[in-house]
Structure 1
Amino acid sequence: MSAIVVVGGGLAGLTAALAGVEAGHEVTLLDDGAFRSSASVQAQGGFSAVTAAGLAAGDSVASHVADTLEAGARHGDPAVAAAVCAAAEEHVGTLTRWGTVWDTEADGTVSLTREAAHAASRILHVGGDATGAGIVEALRRRAEALGAEGRLRLDGLEEAGALLLEGGAVAGVAGAHGGLLGADAVILASGGISGAYGTRTSRFANPGDAAALAWRAGAVLADAEMVQFHPTYCAEAGFMVSEALRGEGAVLRDATGRRFMLEIDERAELAPRDVVARGVARAQGGAWLDASPIVEREGRGFLARRFPTITATLAQAGLDLERAPIPVRPAQHYWMGGVAVDAHARSTVPGLLVAGEASRTGLHGANRLASNSLLEAVHTGLAAVATVSAGLHREPATLRLGAPVPLELEDRRGAPLATVRTLADRHLGVEREAAGLSASLVALDPATEGLGAERDPSCASSEALTARLIAHSAQLRPGPLGAHHRLDAAGEARPGATVTLVNPHPATRRATTAPGAAAGMSDPRKVPA
């Protein structure tokens, strides 16, 4: 039995925690509100998997793999994509066993839908368009039951402030409020970098703590420049509209009513997200999502039944897709980059495993295929626990990446949060160029003169740190590739050539508690209601 600390209570963290308990480990889950605010909870579309029903309809795992690699601009790892897609149906079974109730048809078969860049209908969903919330709620209930039985330590009040190191290996977590918790292995699963952007699909700003914690501990990061922008964010409602609507037949039009995606890609609205996002960003006079084709085919009332969350949220803003198109624009959505891990979820730092959006597995390449995020969260959460169970967690990852670039980043408070988000929106968005990248790095440098009066003492440094990592990586990739689009391309697209970064001066904070021993941590039984 090993002592495991899981940081983050979204789908990846919950998966790791539940699997860890089932494997007989001593597990502590640090969840600073992720049960309610994680990206997993907000996931509308679904869970991609080729199930028996999909196979019967002519789909295949090989097709899922091909779609994943094609959407990722051929930058993804074929071996990783093959392994994850092949395990998807088994993961559906695990989630079902843990209490997930999938939407079904009248005959009792699991409902399947199609999303952009998928060749077939292979997306399972829960509550119509509340898949992430439905899955997380099921796993949360199971976690709380295990907590009540004393089999899982749940801490919903604490968050990780630093990783404890011993002899170059991670040996626990220092809480942001001063407590210490030793561990044989730490699984980082606290998500992406939405907090670095002002225009984002997430209703909650994730500061990028997982990337910052790993960076400070000396872990290699990869593909940091690969940030996905969802093409149909409705600013008037402050809400992302799932591309499952486009899968059902909704189309995109510009201010003149022209269906512009037909002229950009033969797949039109079902092209990969990076292609659609650029089309929306360039649409003449703005872009609108038009659901009238669905209404004409299915009749009134269908949208409210199939997409209850979207319909209700838009209604609160006075919008109704059954009556008129809604304005949309791209917004930061997902990070394909992150802490570089191998197939066993191991980072380059012994004892540190990473799961979910915080990890860079190689699955997504330069652009994530729709609904592969929840799949990856489950897969990596399970892989991390399997690695600990096999006693392989003290071995660092062996990665087939280029030599990491040592990057000297002064890690202290710099530009205020508003400045970070403004710069990221302006220079690290759908389209980028050298001048903007340089300007953002100058402004984000803590040593830059002239920003002193603007600095916000309440600003955490994770957002600024991750923004700088993105900008540096974007500079190192002069050619366009997938979601990384250079207006001033000075090189060719080079799929497979990965930009990797490493901190040449990692922190050396030593562990002062034995694995599993807590000092000053909040009551592990206190979980948000």
Structure 2
Amino acid sequence: MTHLVVVGGGLAGLTAAIAAAEAGVDVTLLDDAACAASASVQAQGGFSAVTAAGVAAGDSVGSHVADTLEAGALHGDAAVVAAICSAAADHVATLTRWGTVWDAAPDGSVALTREAAHAAARIAHCGGDATGAGIIQAVLRHALRLEDEGRLELRGDQRGAGLLVQAGAATGVLLPDGARIRADAVVLASGGISGVYATRTSRHPNPADAAAMAWRAGAVLADAEMVQFHPTYSAEAGFMLTEALRGEGAVLRDADGQRFMLALDERAELAPRDVVARGVAAAQGGAWLDAAPIVERRGPGFLARRFPTVTAALERAGLDLERGPVAVRPAQHYWMGGVAVDQHARSTVPGLLVVGEASRTGLHGANRLASNSLLEAVHTGLAAVATVGSGRHLEAGSLALADPLPVELDEGCGAPLQAVRTIADARLGVDRDEAGLRVALRELERPGQSEAPGNARASSESIAARLVATAALYREGSLGAHHRVDTAGTDRGGARPGSTITLINPHPTAQNDLHGGSQNGGQHSTGRNSIHQTHTKEVAR
């Protein structure tokens, strides 16, 4: 029987694990936070899909495709975008079958709302603004049932520390204690790079392990410079204020009370995130999110009913959108870049499949459209399992990308984590320039410095930050979320839509899988118990 190891317990990883179990594949899922700390579980807005109700209201898959490409600055892969958007309604049905309960419209159909840069209301949601938690709770419950039936193994207290590679192909996962889990294929699903930044929307910083593990195994990475910053993060509350608030009518004002986005883009607050983030960052005297238009139209109490998660988070900080505007600023939110994969989730390393935010599929281009991340998570998770089922997982991905640039990174040194985050905030943020990027690279790779005494390798965050900085330096012009203030408005350095910067490690250092070791790599029961305990606590927040 084929054995599959999935690293990461967000929506992409859980989707892959469940689909594999249902297909009769022997599957083990590793997640050291008991599936309770992913970006997926924190997602507020929703799941983008053109459903039958949306079509009846005048929406179309073609419109979703066009919005996705436009938001991505025409840098996305049109074929990938069309395939994923076309499958979105089916993915909603799959999540429903797995137990997801969507908020309902008066006629009983899935309720749909509109978010920035979408031409129509096509965002399905759960619990108002707790979509990620609602989906993960349902999907994990289904996964636990499969485990009870002996069809799936969940290890909620273990993480992957590295990939095992033999003859250039991924053959398993190395655990932190040195134990090994061998597999016919590995699915990397451990997310993005939020842990690189100090100012981020995620309450649980992702250490960027997927990027570092793939890099060390010799996989090609693409669009590393494309980092999305969410425009409406409340530093006072330590919480992101969902895009759906602006979709419902909230507006952005500067210190003088003026709606500054009106002068920057005809779509104003509903422009793509990169446009709004730059507007917020440059707003005179700061920026505030004003929900008064929603209150006037919907009446008192609507915000608390429609956005209970945001309302509660603000209340804990003594803030209330119903009473007045809340100060906001951009914060790191999503990585459009990642491990380059084809439409079958295959990386350039045979046996290594990559899904969700860890992957670079070509869906998001230079800037992700709101609520397309959960859609991509399900789509790529299913694609990976289909690839394993077809027996084509040992084929390298077929990528229509330029030859990768070999980049030498000294893993014997690297700035400590706090320094990495300070540098990333200062140099790898909304606005970038050549001088700042060169300073970042020097500071991130200081000779003789390492994450901790005796640590032979730089941290995953240090590796990921250097990859972002390197790609950002190569792309001399601005494109989407990558904004070069020193060359803004130019087309230098091949910064054209469709021109993708790819990077590769010329000296892979992944663990060579030539010797024996533990096939099981730890005890199963402890992980499952921690999933039960931790997940129940997290989704109740």
Report the TM-score range of the alignment, normalised by the length of the smaller protein.
over 0.9
Gaps (5+ residues) in structure 1? none
Report what 1:487 is aligned to. 485
Asked if 1:430 corresponds to 2:445, the answer is no
CA distance in 2 between partners of 1:232 and 1:168 (Å): 43
Q: SS of 1:401's equivalent?
A: coil
Q: Give the conservation status (yes or no) of the 8 Å contact 2:103–2:127.
A: yes
Report the AA paired with residue 303 of structure 1: L
The 5 Å alignment of 1:53-72 reads 53-72=53-72
How do 1:44-83 and structure 2 match up within 5 A? 44-83=44-83
Taking the TM superposition and a 5 Å limit, the aligned residue runs for 1:334-353 are: 334-353=334-353
Tell me which amino acid in the other structure corresponds to 1:470.
Answer: V
Alpha-carbon distance in structure 2 between the residues aligned to 1:337 and 1:67:
19
Question: C-alpha separation between the residues in 1 aligned to 2:192 and 2:520?
Answer: 28
Query: Residue 507 of structure 1: CA displacement?
Result: 2.1
Larger deviation: 459-468 or 298-307? 459-468
Higher mean C-alpha deviation, range 412-421 or range 196-205: 412-421
- Contact 2:163–2:510 (8 Å) recurs in 1: no
Pair 1:457–1:343, CA change in 2 (3 A)? same
For 1:457 and 1:93, the matched residues in 2 are separated by: 50
Shift of 1:149: 1.7
Deviation at 1:321, TM superposition (A): 0.3
Select the residue among 476, 497, 510 that pairs with 2:474.
476
Q: CA offsets, 1:251-284, max 9 Å, x none?
A: 0000000000000000000000000000000000
**Superposition deviation, residue 366 in structure 1:** 0.1
The answer for the alignment partner of 2:388 in structure 1 is 388
Deviation at 1:105, TM superposition (A): 1.9
Q: For 1:188 and 1:159, how far apart are their aligned partners in 2?
A: 11
Aligned letter for 2:374? L
2:507 alignment counterpart: 505
Q: CA RMSD in A?
A: 1.6
For 1:270 and 1:22, the matched residues in 2 are separated by 40
Shift of 1:106: 2.7
What CA distance in whole angstroms lies between the structure 2 residues aligned with 1:467 and 1:444? Answer: 8
The amino acid that maps onto 2:483 is: H
Question: How high is the TM-score relative to the length of structure 1?
Answer: 0.97
| Contact 1:479/1:489 (<8 A) preserved | yes
CA drift at 1:178: 2.0
Q: Is the 8 A contact 2:338 2:360 kept in 1?
A: yes
1:150–1:514: structure 2 CA closer, same or farther, 3 Å change rule? farther
1:198-240 deviations in whole A, cap 9, x for unaligned? 0000001101000000000000000000000000000000000
Q: Is the CA contact 2:232–2:329 (under 8 Å) kept in the aligned structure 1?
A: yes
Take 1:341 and 1:506, find their aligned partners in 2: how far apart are those partners? 18
| Counterpart AA for 2:348 | T
Q: Which amino acid aligns with 1:150?
A: G
Give, in whole Å, the separation in 2 of the partners of 1:374 and 1:281.
27
Give the CA deviation at 1:399: 0.6
Mapping for residues 173-212 of structure 1, pairs under 5 Å: 173-212=173-212
> Given the two structures, how large is their TM-score scaled by the length of structure 2?
0.95
What does residue 92 of structure 1 align with? 92
How far apart, CA to CA, are the structure 2 residues paired with 1:35 and 1:313? 22
After TM superposition, the structure 1 stretch with the greater mean CA deviation from structure 2, 252-261 or 503-512, is 503-512
Distance 1:158 1:513, change over 3 A: farther
Task: Answer yes or no: is the 8 Å Cα contact 1:153–1:524 preserved in 2.
Answer: no
Q: In the alignment, residue 518 of structure 1 is paired with which amino acid?
A: Q
How far apart, in 2, do the equivalents of 1:95 and 1:233 lie? 29
Task: State the SS of the aligned residue for 2:364.
Answer: coil
Tell me how far 1:121 sits from its aligned partner.
0.1
Distance 2:271 2:497 in 1: 19
CA distance in structure 1 between the partners assigned to 2:147 and 2:421 by the alignment: 38
The 1:283–1:42 alpha-carbon spacing in structure 2 relative to 1, beyond 3 Å, is same
Runs (5+) with no aligned partner, structure 2: 534-541
In the alignment, which residue of structure 2 is the partner of 1:526? Answer: 527
- Helix, strand or coil for the counterpart of 1:160? coil
Contact kept, 8 Å, 1:156 with 1:524, in 2: the verdict is no
Secondary structure of the structure 1 residue equivalent to 2:28:
strand
Q: Which deviates more from structure 2 when the two are superposed, residues 225-234 or residues 404-413?
A: 404-413
CA distance in 2 between counterparts of 1:306 and 1:513 reads 56
**Superposed structure 1 runs of 4+ greater than 4 Å apart:** 454-460, 512-515
- Check 1:238–1:508 CA distance in 2 against 1; reply closer, same or farther (3 A cut): closer
